[in-house]
Structure 1
Amino acid sequence: MKLFVKVIVSILFICLVGFFALISYNYTQRPDYKSSEKTVHIVKYNNKFTLIRNGQPFEIKGAAGDSNIKMISEIGGNTLRVYDTVNIKNILNEAHDSNLAVILDIPLPRYDKDYFNYEDENYQKNLKKSIQDLVNRHKNHPALLMWNLGNEVDFPFSILGNGFTNTYNDLVNLIHESDPNHPISTTITGRRSNIFSLFFFSPKLDIYGFNTFGALYELDDRFSTLGPINGKFPFYLSEWGSNGPWENGTTSWGVPIEPFSSEKAKQIEQNYKLVEGYNKTNCVGSLIFYWGNKQESTHTWFSLFDENDLKSHQIETLLNLWNVSTTNPKRFHINHIKINNQAIVDSLILNRGDTAKAQINLSYHGDSLKRHDLTYKWELYPEAWQYQFSDNQVKPKKVAGYIVEDLKDQIIFKTPKKEGPYRLFVTIYDTDNYFATANLPFYILEKL
């Protein structure tokens, strides 16, 4: 028995020594963050990281999305993050014409324990070939700022590596070899385990991007618990904005309660104060999300534009925060939206086929904006609640023919005949074609 214990202890000791030897070796492989002749690189001086582009310090201040590219520059931004490589040459050209730098995402299939593509040699070979071709096509474009390898990568903690980690590190090496002039980042949600894994097991990554919204205030606490690696890596806020669906309350049937756009504008103001604070540490900039229109829980939650590319009031808020304008973006404030005089969104249950009344209540700022200056658009959709957190979501089909009487800031409508969850939206446009939004989820039950 004593011999057995000694053998086990010896094995554990050897494993521990091997682990620390691997960690030490990987640490030596990390970027040196020294000044160079590269087009874009990161330097560290007096414990502060700085992004250098074309020989000059460059602070990322821009947006993540795919539309209205020129407007980013017009309101004071300098960077666009692009998620999709479709039509990327035209996007790079338009960004360059608008004096914008581009962070170009390289999409990767999500890794999990039940997903074995990364164990397939042919899959790995084809993936590497396609990424190398992409890099070679665009590495010399003057708008390119950096490559972002994978969005919200769930990087596994694997000492000896596995199909994913080995492929990922091969891709990092491949991109560096093909394009030594631009840094490589990846974007994560800021979990400590991911930070540790990337730091020690993918040491040649140049910079990390954090997608974080209402949890911005937690980043400092997370960094403080990273021990000796705290302050050893540069980062940027690759997505920030108003609070996300996972950060809000839900109804009794489990769908998130979306803030009115007036509340989102306030959240953006509050979160930007945190953004500015991080820019004074090891952060090299930030990107607001989402510069375009997309379905994520709803089609209005993160969308800074509508489907016709008209601007939300949050963009005016951003315009002020970026010190381009001193106008008051709060043209009006949404107080509440009610159905049958109810605004208790966590338990709004209606009978199917009934007649109901919905109304929106606003507060107006100043004498110039009157009630008749606004246009109201009411829409009813089934709830998009079948998606998992990481799914690509599709906007549900709008319910047609439900409005009985449209009275602008209120409507009389027929409730749907099919049981289930729904959401009533109202979009309010002003005379400058800015808009605000509110919605109210409810559940349809058969009459008892």
Structure 2
Amino acid sequence: MRKRAALLAAALLAASAAAQAADGAERQPSQVRIVEEDGRYRLLVDGEPFHIRGAGGSSRLQELAARGGNSFRTWRPEPTEAATFALLDEAQRLGLKVTMGLEVARERHGFDYDDPDAVAAQLARLREEVEAYRDHPALLMWAAGNELNLEATNPAVWDAVDDIAEMIHEVDPNHPVMTTLAGIGSDTIAEIKARADSLDLIGVQLYGNIDTLPTALEETRWTGPYVVTEWGPTGHWESPETSWGAPVEDTATRKAELLQERYRRDIDSDRTQGLGSYVFLWGNKQERTPTWYGLFLPSGEATPGVDAMQRLWTGSWPANRSPSITPPLLDGRGATDSVTLAPGATVEARVEAADPDGDALAFRWYVLEESTATSTGGDPEDVPPEVAVATTETAPGRIRLTAPAEAGNYRLFVEVRDGHDHAAYANLPFRVQAGAADD
């Protein structure tokens, strides 16, 4: 019995050692370097060139990989270590690399970078996070903070960022460190050069004005490497507005066209300093509307923007593509006409949609109250309440709609689905006001 027990114990010990060795092999970190050759920067992962074809967000990772993406970025670790490791493990299984965001407090949220105790406590927390995840092979680089320059006035934030970068280099010599910026301005770049020169690169976040990137790089004299860490549709703050200030959102089709144009002209064209990009957003979120930035509908369907990214990343369209859609009309008028209706008025809404594969299309129309959010920088917003309105479909893409009885600002949405998990969408802000003509 003792001999059998000893043999069993030895077997268990050997199995444990083998498991630990296997786990250690799985946890060997990638060696990530930024190198300069003849004035051109390149990102190397384990000695091999790696140009980032990425998306912001950690959902739908299998589809990201299938569509030709090779990386995604987060804004912070998951709520628990177990969840963060599970995410990194999934990335590794799918062949994706992760730019791991580290939550660095923002001045616009009340953090005081002149408070040494608060700054030290933040640095200690970040050290624990870096130590926890530094050896995972899916890790590509660290993003210390997001848009710390937005609505900020205290340059001491860059001293703190420099301390964070130095700490990461000490704890984790295998992965570069950046911080991401809202836009790219001369004052910010000057502060970073003076106060945070431990950073290996910067992340730049531009939307409708991404065409200014080459000029901005020249004017700010940023000659180092960068990643475009957010880009995508025209932002709500830079879009046309109605007469009452409601931003006009592009259709899903127009956004897909802009993704292709902006990527080719402003992102992929720079292989000297640019190391790639992360399109925003591989998922969905409420930010002025539920559809403005997400490449997927809240119900999960992929939009034309996903097809566009596959085309850009792989050179090929998917076998089955999303439908297309035109800007909707309400009472014969478009969004920039500042449509105003009388309470309870009955009007026609119409939109044109088509499917490149000939799939049958199903339409969904609904009305939300207009968002009253004034938040910036992607801070959380609530989806506005849905408003019950009477609608009657008169033809595909045509409905008769009865305006809300209460005066106010609203937005009419239309979604069109192809039955194959693809969709397109459009919306139109309108106002209900007593005394408006009922045509």
Shorter-chain TM-score tier: 0.7 to 0.9
| Conserved? CA contact 2:30–2:137, under 8 Å | no
CA RMSD of aligned residues (A): 2.5
Instruction: With the length of structure 2 as denominator, give the TM-score of the two structures.
Output: 0.85
Distance 2:150 2:411 in 1: 36
- In structure 2, the residue matched to 1:90 is 86
2 CA distance for matches of 1:333 and 1:165? Answer: 45
- C-alpha distance in 2 between matches for 1:259 and 1:425: 12
User: 1:263: Cα distance to partner?
Assistant: 0.9
CA deviation profile, 1:360-399 (whole Å, cap 9, x unmatched)? 123565xx526xx101111211111332322523233432
Residue identity opposite 1:195 in structure 2: I
- 1:338-366 residue CA offsets vs partner (Å, 9 max, x unmatched): 1122225342111223333212123565x
Aligned in 2, Cα 1:125/1:277: closer, same or farther, shift over 3 Å? closer
The correspondence for 1:131, drawn from 118, 126, 129, is 126
Q: Which residue of 2 aligns with 1:39?
A: 31
Does 2:278 match 1:287? yes
Following superposition of structure 1 onto structure 2, how do residues 281-320 of structure 1 map, counting pairs within 5 Å? Answer: 281-320=272-311
- Partners in 1 of 2:225 and 2:114 — Cα distance? 31
Take 2:369 and 2:163, find their aligned partners in 1: how far apart are those partners? 44
Structure 1 partner of 2:392: 405
| CA 1:236–1:116: 2 relative to 1, 3 Å | closer
Shift of 1:329: 7.5
Residues 446 and 76 of structure 1, relative CA distance in 2, 3 Å threshold: same
Match of 1:435 in 2: 423
> Which range is displaced more, 235-244 or 287-296?
235-244
Which of 373, 380, 385 does residue 393 from structure 1 map onto?
A: 380
1:328, distance to aligned residue in structure 2 (A): 8.3
Counterpart CA distance in 1 for 2:152 and 2:377 is 20
Report the counterpart of residue 64 of structure 2 in structure 1.
72
Task: Indicate the residue corresponding to 1:102 in structure 2.
Answer: 98
Amino acid at match of 1:369: G
Give the secondary-structure state (helix, strand or coil) at the position aligned to 1:322. Answer: helix
The partner residue of 1:146 within 127, 141, 145 is 141
Q: Could you give the per-residue CA deviations for residues 186-216 of structure 1, whole angstroms, max 9, x where no partner exists?
A: 1112122212221222100001111112222
Deviates more, 1:414-423 or 1:299-308: 414-423
TM value normalised by structure 1:
0.83
Contact 2:36 2:42 in 1 (8 A): yes
Distance apart, 1:38 and its partner CA: 7.9
Q: How far 1:412 moved relative to its partner?
A: 2.5
Q: Does 1:164 align with 2:157?
A: yes
2:193 is aligned with 1:199: yes
The offset of 1:445, in angstroms, is 1.4
Structure 1 residue aligned with 2:20: none
SS, match of residue 238 in structure 1: strand
Residues 10-21 of structure 1 aligned to structure 2 (within 5 Å): none
Partner of 2:327: 336
Counterpart for residue 21 of structure 1: none
Distance in 1 (alpha carbons) for counterparts of 2:85 and 2:74: 11
Aligned length: 402
Secondary structure at the counterpart of residue 52 of structure 1: strand
In structure 1, stretches of 5+ residues that fail to align are 1-36
Equivalent position amino acid for 2:391 in 1? V
Is the 1:136–1:179 Cα contact (8 Å) retained in structure 2? yes
C-alpha distance 284-163 of structure 1, shift in aligned 2 (>3 A): closer
The CA distance in 2 between the partners of 1:262 and 1:427, in whole Å, is: 12
Q: Hey, what does 1:268 align to over in structure 2?
A: 259
The verdict on how the C-alpha distance between 1:82 and 1:282 changes in structure 2, with shifts beyond 3 A counting, is same
Counterpart of 1:190 in structure 2 is 184
Name the CA shift for 1:165/1:208 in 2 (closer, same or farther; >3 Å).
closer
1:215 aligns with 2:209: yes
Who is 2:246 aligned against? 255
Asked if structure 1 preserves the Cα contact closer than 8 Å seen for 2:52 and 2:71, the reply is yes
Question: 2: CA distance between counterparts of 1:430 and 1:289?
Answer: 24
Q: How many angstroms apart in 1 are the aligned matches of 2:372 and 2:166?
A: 40
1:155 offset after TM fit, Å?
A: 7.9
- Structure 2 residue identity aligned to 1:223: L
Answer yes or no: is the 8 Å Cα contact 1:62–1:80 preserved in 2.
yes
Identity %: 28
Which one-letter code corresponds to 1:396 in the other structure?
A: V
Cα 1:38–1:402 change in 2 (3 A) is: closer
1:254 positional shift: 1.1
Q: Is the 8 A contact 2:300 2:421 kept in 1?
A: no
Displacement of 1:131 after TM fit? 0.8
Q: 1:66 to 1:327 in 2, by over 3 A?
A: closer
3-state SS of paired residue (1:96): helix
The correspondence for 2:316, drawn from 303, 313, 325, is: 325
For residues 42-74 of structure 1, what are the alpha-carbon distances to aligned partners after superposition, in whole Å with 9 as ceiling and x for unaligned? 111111111111121211111111210121111
Q: Distance in 2 between matches of 1:102 and 1:300?
A: 25
Which residue of the other structure, out of 171, 178, 181, is the alignment partner of 2:174?
181
Task: Give the letter aligned to residue 61 of structure 1.
Answer: R
Q: Give the residue type in structure 2 aligned to 1:415.
A: A
- Taking the aligned partners of 2:379 and 2:361, their CA distance within structure 1 comes to 33
8 A Cα contact 2:252 2:304, kept in partner: yes
Tell me how far apart the structure 1 counterparts of residues 330 and 387 of structure 2 sit (CA, whole Å). Answer: 18
User: In 2, distance between residues paired with 1:326 and 1:347?
Assistant: 36
* Residue identity matched to 1:134: E
Q: SS where residue 262 of structure 1 aligns? A: helix
CA shift for structure 1 position 223: 1.9
Contact preservation (8 Å) 2:75, 2:103: yes
